[in-house]
Structure 1
Amino acid sequence: MRSAMTDVSRDEYMAVAASREIRDGDTAFIGTGLPMVAAYLAKATHAPRVNLVFESGIIDPQPVDLATGVGDYRLVHGSTKVAGTFYALSLLQQAKVDIGFLGTAEIDPYGNLNSTVIGPYDRPRVRLPGSGGANDIASMAKRFVVIARLDRKRFVEKVQYLTTPGFLTGPGAREAAGLPGAGPVRVISDRAILGFDPASRRMRVERLYPGATLAEVQEHIAFPIDAAPTLEIEPEPDLHLLRLLRDVIDPDGVYVGRDER
């Protein structure tokens, strides 16, 4: 246990903010890392009836230890079903997933994601892991959340490859493409919580972490970004949430607690 409970890391702010995006009773499609921590935190606090779905096909586990991947055998403990990837992705196609969480190498102002290549597709400088289930989640989950640290190389004017659709080119584009999901609702970063303007569908700053400024956020984003009409300050996580994160969910600091404060 850390001695300074109120010394909150950026990872902890991100985990708490992401957990709040989960509503009680949601079916949530969860990946490795901070999304897993956020899901466990939500289930332990305000959303005890959340149904967790992992791409490996493990459904609603009750793990006693933090898993290191979606196929980790520790996720099987207490699960209601172990069915495989085909079944997990079929839940998206049946519109049974309320929320999904995604990471990305690049994201543009409309929430489009690239996790495929950096550079030309045929001769890329970097070949990334690809979509996996990300396109399925973004296209068919009722809403999705992106978790990404601010970086000008990540928050770009145009993604080099469209792996995963956000709002595509702007208002009405998702609907015209026939995508049933509502699209991205939030981007949880290490300095601020970003959302999307309901009219323009462009990304905007909605809440700043304590000590962060709008100018600092803009410095780490390669495209112009506005603030929401009411720009709020994210509250510091209370001691109960911090104890859950540090002593119960991730006591070894696998995913939270090792970054700068």
Structure 2
Amino acid sequence: MAKYSEDFTPQEMIVVAGSRTLIDNKVVFAGTGLPMVAITLAQLTHGPGIVPVFEAGAVGPELSRGLPLSVGGSRTTYKANYLLGLNSAFELTQRGFCDFGFIGGAEIDPYGNLNSTMMGSFPDGYQKPKTRLPGSGGASDMACSCERTIIIMVHEPRRFNEKIDYITSPGYLDGSPNARWRAGMAGQGPYRVITTKAIMGFDDETKRMKLIATLPGETVKSVQEATGFELIIPDDVYAFEPPTVEEIRLIREVIDPKGYFVRKKIKE
């Protein structure tokens, strides 16, 4: 029986939750930072056959030379199946060969639409927002074309809003039947939202966000209070198991020993 750790950070909890969500022998489009750590942890535990894809073009590399510091780092290319550049990586998603994509954003709505472009834009419009954010990078392409997406976010009310200022990476749009198909998107849409407090999914019919599991130290009430809209609360919400001692050891000693990503403080 696995021994659970009593010493872990919010970042480590997100990494473990992301890792356990992944399935062996699937192709996973990896974003910079925590997603890379989660993918590597999954490969070292239950998913040795996971094939990572990096935005700069590396497909199926071994990450045994150390954690890449970016999606274009040379470590992403070590023993890769092939390396043909950014266009080729995204073509892979458009042809339906990426099972999961890890993405994030500053703001999310009940249908999994993400904003990473601007905040507080009204009444001045797009040209003069209150806060200008980094933008999409490859996240919008991943949200449109990867078969499913896994979203990683800090959980607080100002980030979870009924209506967001800008849709950078589309989720289920307005939640209407076949909305993504009508918009010309190939992927099925968001699969999970993993935060510092909970794991959420989406209702099959309404496409609204629903609570699946509370992370250690959280309750259904505390998660809802930190969410700026009403979550669907099924009867089978469960308490997510804490990280194991071995998972924490792998993160700290093998995957990210210098703490480039995991020991960074998550900005609230």
TM-score range, shorter chain: over 0.9
Change (3 A) 1:259 1:115: closer
Alpha-carbon distance in structure 2 between the residues aligned to 1:219 and 1:68: 35
Q: Does the 8 Å CA contact 1:99/1:142 hold for their aligned counterparts?
A: yes
Alpha-carbon distance in structure 2 between the residues aligned to 1:201 and 1:164: 16
The SS at the match of 1:138 is helix
Q: Does the 8 Å CA contact 1:9/1:258 hold for their aligned counterparts?
A: no
Unaligned runs of 5+ in 1: none
Displacement, 1:14?
Answer: 0.8
2:141 matched to 1:136? yes
Change (3 A) 1:242 1:92: same
Identity %: 42
Corresponding position of 1:89: 90
Corresponding position of 2:21: 21
2:127 maps to which of 119, 122, 126:
122
The SS at the match of 1:204 is strand
Corresponding position of 2:223: 217
Alpha-carbon distance in structure 1 between the residues aligned to 2:264 and 2:141: 31
> What TM-score do the two structures reach when normalised by structure 1?
0.93
The SS at the match of 1:184 is strand
The SS at the match of 1:218 is helix
- How many pairs were matched up? 257
Corresponding position of 2:102: 101
Corresponding position of 2:44: 44
Unaligned runs of 5+ in 2: none
1:207 maps to which of 210, 213, 224:
213
Question: Greater CA deviation, 171-180 or 235-244?
Answer: 171-180
The code of the aligned residue for 1:13 comes to: M
1:1-261 residue pairs with structure 2 within 5 A? Answer: 5-63=5-63, 64-118=65-119, 119=121, 120-172=125-177, 173-257=179-263, 259=265
Q: Does the 8 Å CA contact 1:42/1:48 hold for their aligned counterparts?
A: yes
Alpha-carbon distance in structure 2 between the residues aligned to 1:178 and 1:83: 26
> What TM-score do the two structures reach when normalised by structure 2?
0.91
Alpha-carbon distance in structure 1 between the residues aligned to 2:133 and 2:256: 27
